[in-house]
Amino acid sequence: MVAPEQLIAFAVLTVVMVVIPGPSVLFTISRALTVGRRGALLTVVGNAVGVYLQVVAVAFGLGTLVQTSATVFTVVKLAGAAYLVYLGVQAIRHRRALSDALAVRVGPAHGGPLRLVRDGVVVGFANPKSIVFLAAVLPQFVNSAAGAVPAQILLLGTLLPITALLLDSAWAYAAGTARAWFARSPRRLELIGGAGGLTMIGLGTGLAVNGRKD
C-alpha cells in the first residue's frame, strides 16, 4: 500500500510544517497562558482530533473541494477566525478570574475538560494552514496505482495529528511553566489573561484577512 520511502518523506515534510508556528501553536500558547498547562494539553488533544477530521475530509473528497472552491475555503477560514475572536473576547472578559481559578482544585464542574477539547477540535478543523497542506501535498505521496487511495490518505494523514500532538504539547508545557511565574501576582495574571485573549483575537483577525495562499 504505502511504500516506506513515501511514509518517511511525508513524515519529514510534516515535521517541517508543524515546527513552523501557525494558528495551532499560537492558540496552544494562548490557552496555556489563560487556562493553564492542563487546559492547553486538552486543547492540543482536541486540535489533533480536528486535524485528523481534515484528513478524513481529504480522503473522501472535501479537501479537493476546499482547495478548488474559493467560497468553501473562505467559509471554513472565516468560521475558524470568528471562533478564535470569540474565545479571545471571553479570555479578556474573564481575565480577573484567573487568579481565583489557581486557588481552586481542577474538577469536572461546568464540563471544563470537554469544552477545552471541543475548542481544540474546532480550531484544528478550521485551520487553513493544515487543510491546504493536506489537500495539496498529501495526495502527492499516494500511490494511485496500488488502489485503496482513501485508506492510503487516512494512513499517511495520521502523521500530521501525531506530530502536532507531540510538538504542540511541548509548547503547552513551556507556556504553562511561564504562566506559573506570572501566577505569583494576581496583577501579572490579569495581564497574561488579557494578552492571551488579545493574541487569540489577533490570530482570528489574521486568519480572516489572509488571502488564498494560507
Position with higher pLDDT, 205 vs 117? 117
| Full-model pTM | 0.66
Set of cell numbers at residue 23: 494558528
How far is Cα 110 from Cα 124, in angstroms, rounded to an integer? Answer: 23
In a domain, 212, yes or no: no
In a domain, 59, yes or no: yes
> How many domains does the chain fold into?
1
In a domain, 214, yes or no: no
In a domain, 32, yes or no: yes
pLDDT tens digits, 153-187: 899 999 999 999 999 999 888 877 777 666 566 56
Domain that holds residue 201: 4-14+22-207
Say yes or no to pLDDT of 143 above 50.
Answer: yes
Nearest to residue 137, comparing CAs of 121, 155, 156? 156
Nearest to residue 30, comparing CAs of 17, 44, 46? 44
Position with higher pLDDT, 182 vs 209? 209
Say yes or no to pLDDT of 52 above 70.
Answer: yes
Residue type, 160: L
In a domain, 213, yes or no: no
Nearest to residue 51, comparing CAs of 141, 116, 114, 121? 121
